[in-house]
Amino acid sequence: MPFIKYYLPDTKVVPIIFHHDVSKKEAEQIAQCLSNYVDKGAVVIASVDFSHYLSREKAEQKDQETIKAMKERDFDKLLSFGNDHLDSPASLVTLFFTMERQGITEFEILAHTNSGILLGNDLIETTSYITLVFGHHSAESSLK
């Protein structure tokens, strides 16, 4: 939010907070509503932390499972994950469904790290961060 306020001070933001047990059907319904706004130029951002309270090695393992489920579009698996994988599966799945409705199924992982790496400490319990962007992919250009 501080970046949005700084770089885009006139931007209107509508936060959506998900309950922990949002169903796949509910995520699809929310995505349908959000798609109407995306058609009008809105941007959808899902702020999701990934694996929590794990060693660096275990966090990497859980993150790879999550990344695999995202690449395979295994929404049931994503929705079944708990904090050891990610803190808001419903946010992530809703984002995927919203992008699908826009005809955007490609995403690129821009960064993947965790708090242990950032702090240079392999002994602490970590929180993982994965930054990804959705966009149309063409042979001549990267994701936009």
Q: pLDDT of the chain along its 144 residues, tens only?
A: 888 899 989 988 888 999 888 999 999 999 999 998 887 778 889 999 999 999 888 999 999 999 999 999 999 999 999 999 999 999 999 999 999 999 998 999 999 999 988 998 888 899 999 999 998 754 444 443
Element (H or E) spanning 53, and its range?
A: strand 52-54
Domain coordinates in residue numbering, the chain: 23-39+46-134
Give the pair of three-digit tokens for residue 51. Answer: 């694996």
**Model pTM?**
0.86
The C-alpha angle 112, 54, 124, rounded to 5 degrees, equals 90
- The two structure tokens encoding residue 85: 């994988």
The whole-angstrom separation of Cα 90 and Cα 107 is: 18
